[in-house]
Structure 1
Amino acid sequence: MSVDEGLYAWVQEALEPLGAVTMRKMMGGATLYLDGVIFAILDDAEIWFKSDSESDSLWDGQGCERFTVTFKDGRADTMNYRRAPLDVYDDAEAMQRWAALAVEAGLRGAAKRKPKA
């Protein structure tokens, strides 16, 4: 995995009306946050949006495959991220629409992890 800095700049520009996009590099790729909420990962020149059981049908309807990682021992595992539809790479409104869906999944995931009082 590596990070396409130009893609990161595009995501920041396209999502500026929604909030601040920040990046945390890790394991050769990067995790993206919108106002502190995880919503995507960058892998090479691709963006993968956060998904969950509530949004899976929308991603499936667009043919957006799941992110798969292959470990050194040959095992493969999927993660709750979906390949971005092609229009997000040149259409700010599409980027905003799909990123908003991913942020919602990120918020739901964060809420599940918070301990109850």
Structure 2
Amino acid sequence: MDAAEIEEMFQGLGPVTIKRMFGGKGIYHLGRIVALEFRGDMLLKADDVSSPAFAEAGASQWTYEGKSGKPVKMPYWSIPDDAYDDPDLMAGWVRLAYEAAMRAE
């Protein structure tokens, strides 16, 4: 995803800053990380408050295999499919990501 596509995706939230990280990109709003683009997937930040909404919408949580062989769950979730075709839905999801970023401090 290029910068213009990412900026369009987050337009409902406001201006974002995109930084390279972890072989992908970190997406920041007002200095707080709200999303990661990793291996072509956009992942939104979530927490205990917002992750149930992501799960109910069919999103999946980013996990990787830890050193012990057990999955490690990260606080980032895929974007529900229907949001890609609806700017209003997308705006709601990216706002949830920003709210989770605010609570993380």
- TM-score, normalised to structure 2, is 0.84
Task: Count matched residues.
Answer: 105
Q: Where does structure 2 lack aligned partners over 5 or more consecutive residues?
A: none
Residue by residue over 1:6-34, the C-alpha shift from the partner in whole angstroms, topping out at 9 and shown as x without a partner, is xx422312433532111111121111112
Residue by residue over 1:58-111, the C-alpha shift from the partner in whole angstroms, topping out at 9 and shown as x without a partner, is 11111211101346885542201111111333322222110000100000002x
Match of 1:97?
92
Q: Is contact 1:11-1:95 (8 Å) kept?
A: no
Q: Where does structure 1 lack aligned partners over 5 or more consecutive residues?
A: 111-117
- Distance in 2 separating the partners of 1:92 and 1:42: 19
| Equivalent of 1:21 in 16, 20, 44 | 16
Identical amino acids, percent of aligned pairs: 32
Match of 1:64?
59
State the superposition RMSD in angstroms.
2.0
**Could you tell me which amino acid in structure 2 is paired with residue 29 of structure 1?**
G
Q: Secondary structure at the match of 1:63?
A: coil
